[in-house]
Amino acid sequence: MKFLIVALGNIGVEYSFTRHNVGFLLADRMASKYNFSFKNDRYADVAEFRLKNKKVTIIKPTTYMNLSGKPYKYWLDKLEIQKEHSIAVVDELALPYGQIRIKTSGSSGGHNGLTNIEQELQTGQYPRLRFGIGNDFHKGGQVDYVLGKWSDEELKFLPEYLDHAILALEECILAGFPLAMSKYNQKKS
């Protein structure tokens, strides 16, 4: 069985360690864990690895966050993977820092990357893992917060929280979404 992880973020060094790029950070941490590397391909940096008996392709779109749908759809089609065997990894303001929420469908919740995916797939019926980045900003400061660098305090816990999210992704792939949701939603590591 094949699976696709779409780790959302923005390309470029100015975005590399921002909250909005938590998908890319998670993908890079998985690369370290499973000893794989990304290669540039159509619309994305792409890597493959095996998780037990599952072949997993992970992509980091190179189209910027707001155009994440095109690479998502392209790689689903190219690899002939059903969208039910894919998962988008995104940052989420509405969740406390480090908390994750897995859903198999839903709305974009105002997230521009998810909005574009929904437009390209013509449905909100696709899995996603939302990684909480919190909402510790003043009125009108959302963009600066999301595109801002992690604080020193956040950086202390980031590796632990990323590892927790990786375990949740592994559970989605190996045991299925219902079990992963009951085990990981609403809990921090």
Give yes or no: 20 in active site: yes
CA distance 5 to 129: 10
Residue 189 C-beta-side C-alpha neighbours within 13 Å: 16
Do residues 160 and 99 lie in contact, with contact meaning Cβ atoms separated by under 8 Å?
no
Which residue type sits at 76? L
Of residues 20, 85, 111, 164, which has the active-site annotation? 20
Structure tokens, 86:
């894919």
CA distance 29 to 128: 18
Cβ-in-10-Å burial (0-12, 13-18, 19+) of 51 comes to middle
Do residues 88 and 128 lie in contact, with contact meaning Cβ atoms separated by under 8 Å?
yes
Residue with tokens 């159509």: 42
Do residues 79 and 103 lie in contact, with contact meaning Cβ atoms separated by under 8 Å?
no
Catalytic residues: 20
